[in-house]
Amino acid sequence: MVPKKKIDSILTGYDKDDITVATLCSHSSLQIFHGARKAGFKTLGLTVSHNTKYYDAFPLAKPDEIIKFRDLDEIDERVGELHDRNAVVIPHGSFVEYMGPKKFEELEVPAYCNRAVLQWESDRDMERQWITSAGVAMPRIYTDAREIKEPVLVKYHGAKGGRGFFIAKDYPDFKMYIDNTQPYTIQEYVLGTRYYMHFFYSPFKEDGYQVSRGGSLELLSIDRRDESNIDELYKMGSYDDLKKHGLYPSFVVTGNIPVVIRESLLPKAFDMAERIVNRSYELFGGMWGPFCLETIVTDKLDFKLFEISTRIVAGTNPFISGSPYADLIYPGMSTGGRIAKEFRDGLAAGKFIDLMT
Ligand code: AMP
């Protein structure tokens, strides 16, 4: 990992009145650039093979400049061009996935995140340790498949984008479909409603919902993912029948739908998020900025947290002009806009450097 000292020395050389907000041209970049432009920052798109003509269709979210790289490795060789522009990068899901968490950790450009979080997020066992030791409930894990007595979700390690999971109703079902050549985990299949809650934690904001370690927690929006083909498969009959025809459920994300949760669930949601933030500081020096708690609410109105995304998620994209939650804090503000506001506040308070690793 790039030492924090190195990042600090790069930032010390930056002209703080001329910061450029940079990110990879994909995922939530429209929202990030739109928010940064509104806050008066210069914007820089980083691209490899992406077709960037689509930005012409959205002038208010088009970056001021685009740098095209041969491949993502070439960013490393050309970091000087980013330093010359006083650039800080905003990690998003695709940025970290395309680059790989290891390479992202080594990128010698200030990044708005704690890079130490990447390891805790990308290793499912470490992530589970973080969540459960924070006192937050997760779906049960089976270490012995013979104990499967209820529907489970089998997740192959490294399965990407919801492809490569399968549902087994019992042990015989599991045995029939398991591919033992790949590592996997077996998780209780939680029957309930999925909510992907987009939080933002500011370590130095002094009003709003204060967390016990200091700083302020905000809920900016909530989405539910559209997942193909699981969301529609029920229309075609029972899973067992469909399996005979070679049709299996997949969880590939194809879009996002805005949702709100019943108001009585909000205290539990904030309690969970606060625990996760507090524990992140105890374990690895903290998680700040945008993050998403991926949850399922059962009919007993209990949350089960199955994953944390430690950065801006694409589920925030329906909320470019605000959300039913953001509008009660910052009317009309997106998560991208909130990031830019944090930069402005950090610069004004002399705490901008603390936000970067
Ligand atoms: P993940 O890759 O862990 O984000 O999971 C992909 C999708 O699988 C989620 O968006 C959910 O729809 C579903 N999912 C994951 N874990 C569970 C679980 N334990 N029970 C039910 N559905 C799950």
The 3-state DSSP class for residue 56 equals: helix
Q: How many structural domains compose the chain?
A: 3
**139 Cβ closer than 6 Å to some ligand 1 atom:** yes
pLDDT, residue 162, reads 65
pLDDT in tens, 226-260: 999 899 988 988 877 888 888 888 899 999 999 99
Residues of the chain with pLDDT under 50: none
Ligand 1 atom closest to 189 (CA): 20
pLDDT, residue 5, reads 97
**CB-hemisphere CA count at 13 Å for 194?**
20
Residue bearing the CA closest to ligand 1, atom 16: 306
Instruction: Say if residue 101 is in the same domain as residue 125.
Output: no
pLDDT, residue 123, reads 87
Domain, as residue range, for 47: 1-111
**227 Cβ closer than 6 Å to some ligand 1 atom:** yes
Give 2's DSSP letter: -
Domain contains 55: yes
Instruction: Say if residue 63 is in the same domain as residue 156.
Output: no
Domain contains 352: no
Instruction: Say if residue 207 is in the same domain as residue 314.
Output: yes
CATH of the domain at 176: 3.30.1490.20
Tell me the C-alpha distance between 26 and 70, whole Å: 16
Residue bearing the CA closest to ligand 1, atom 17: 189
- Write out the H or E segment, with its range, that includes residue 98: helix 93-99
Tell me the C-alpha distance between 68 and 30, whole Å: 17
The 3-state DSSP class for residue 61 equals: helix
**225 Cβ closer than 6 Å to some ligand 1 atom:** yes
Residue bearing the CA closest to ligand 1, atom 18: 189
pLDDT, residue 159, reads 64
